[in-house]
Amino acid sequence: MTKAKRMMQEDIKLIDIVIELLDARAPLSSKNPDIDNLAANKSRMVILNKADMADARKTAKWEEYFKAKGFFVLSMDSRKNSGMKPVSDTIREACKEKIARDRKRGIINRPIRAMIVGIPNVGKSTFINSYAKKSCTKVGNKPGVTKGKQWIRLSKSVELLDTPGILWPKFEDQSVGLKLALIGSIKDEILNVDELAVELIKFLIDSYPGLLSERYDVNESGDITDIIIEIAKNRKCVSKGAEVDYSKAAALVIDDFRSGKLGKITLEIPNSQE
Ligand code: G4P
């Protein structure tokens, strides 16, 4: 077992609820299924993060999907700390039974402890920073119980562990790897930028027709390679010898997707069979 995984297992013992951050643009691909075992017996919450960049209609479908699987669900833009009250409220709601159990045993006002987990680049630090800024309260070490751990007070009754659990991206099939590369969770070196752009363009023509022609003034019915060449010409992607730079145009399309310039796009929808 890796050190990171062992540490996460230790941290999970200290908490009541696991908050899993997923990328709203690819919620299933950005979910590491191993967390289901790691977080067994804990309350579970899913945050569809970067919802500001995702297709709102598809986000609503994903919310339903995860709710049907027993998760408490929220969608948000973690860069804004204004959405934090719903987070504390949802945590409390998810831990309602635990609070009631504590109360029966005479334990009152014990804060609920939460932890953020997610794959790289999904927004874990951003989320924690937004919370920390908002609350301004760092709860100190609690000797004996949580040695060396820092907690951030989210509300009177909720505390968040200030170090997130970093999950590893997991992909057995290529289409998941592709989506993870597009949302920036795995490095471009793993997948060739030219190939990545071809797959993105195929997907966009299929699922968001008209979008490429509007942004780059290209003919969407052409061959994908021709479309990229057309984008290179229209956007003056040229190399030294004034030749069309295919890879520069491919990288431009990917950058435009990642920065949201192509619009609010979600790469996958829930499978209705599940
Ligand atoms: P991590 O800890 O999970 O690895 O992710 P981190 O918080 O570092 O966030 C990764 C990138 O995603 C950052 O952008 C961050 O600003 C952005 N981000 C996080 N949450 C949201 C969100 O809800 N919406 C949007 N649109 N972006 C979000 P970056 O480009 O790497 O850094 P920066 O240029 O923002 O500083």
Tell me, in angstroms, the distance from the centre of ligand 1 to residue 244's CA: 32
Tell me, in angstroms, the distance from the centre of ligand 1 to residue 238's CA: 31
Atom of ligand 1 at shortest range from CA of 118: 3
Tell me, in angstroms, the distance from the centre of ligand 1 to residue 172's CA: 25
Kindly indicate the confidence band of residue 143, based on its pLDDT and cuts at 50, 70 and 90: very low
Atom of ligand 1 at shortest range from CA of 122: 3
pLDDT, tens digit (0-9, with 9 covering 90-100), for 213-269: 999 999 999 899 999 999 999 999 988 777 899 999 999 999 999 999 999 999 999
Exposed, middle or buried by CB within 10 Å (0-12, 13-18, 19+), for 89? middle
Residue 142 has pLDDT above 60, yes or no: no
Output the pLDDT for position 136.
57
pLDDT, tens digit (0-9, with 9 covering 90-100), for 148-159: 678 998 888 899
Atom of ligand 1 at shortest range from CA of 53: 26
Question: Looking at residues 173-183, what average pLDDT do you find?
Answer: 92
Output the pLDDT for position 147.
54
Name the residue at shortest CA distance from atom 25 of ligand 1.
50
Mean pLDDT of all residues belonging to the chain: 89
| Dihedral sign of CA atoms 267, 268, 269, 270 in order | negative
Cα 146 to Cα 38: distance, rounded to the nearest angstrom:
19
In this structure, the residues whose C-beta lies within 6 A of any atom of ligand 1 are 49-50, 52-53, 77-79, 118, 120-126
